[in-house]
Amino acid sequence: MALHAQTPAEAPARTGVPAPAQAGRVATALGAALAERGEHAAAERALRRAVRCCTAAYGPDDPRLAVPLRALGAVCVARGRLAEAEALLNRVLVLLAGPGDGTEEES
């Protein structure tokens, strides 16, 4: 049985995962690894790509954006950009809180 090298275009069809979602997961993992090594500029580039890919795959209000946004917020903290980090991390909280169910008054 011959092994077939999988091209990037074939990967989503075989796994059932949309290409932007898969690219977002890979970019998130890369960004996290780079941040762990202290390579914050490269980590930031990878994580911004992850956010773009995940937004394209899931939409701007999907809770799955929380992972790359949180990682990007941490990188912004490490780079001294605290206002940007605060905005990103507040967005994470909103995404994870989900839509209001109407039973409680929202502030």
Q: Model pTM?
A: 0.77
Which pLDDT value is given to residue 27?
Answer: 97
Backbone dihedral region of 36: left (phi > 0), alpha (psi from -120 to 50 degrees) or beta?
A: alpha
Contact assessment for residue 28 and residue 20, using Cβ atoms and an 8 Å cutoff: no
Beta-carbon-side half-sphere exposure of residue 35 (alpha carbons within 13 Å)? 23
| pLDDT tens track for 1-24 | 454 454 444 444 555 667 999 999
State both tokens at 56: 């394209």
| pLDDT tens track for 44-96 | 999 999 999 999 999 999 999 999 999 999 999 999 999 999 999 999 999 99
Contact assessment for residue 53 and residue 23, using Cβ atoms and an 8 Å cutoff: yes
- The chain-wide mean pLDDT, for the chain, equals 86
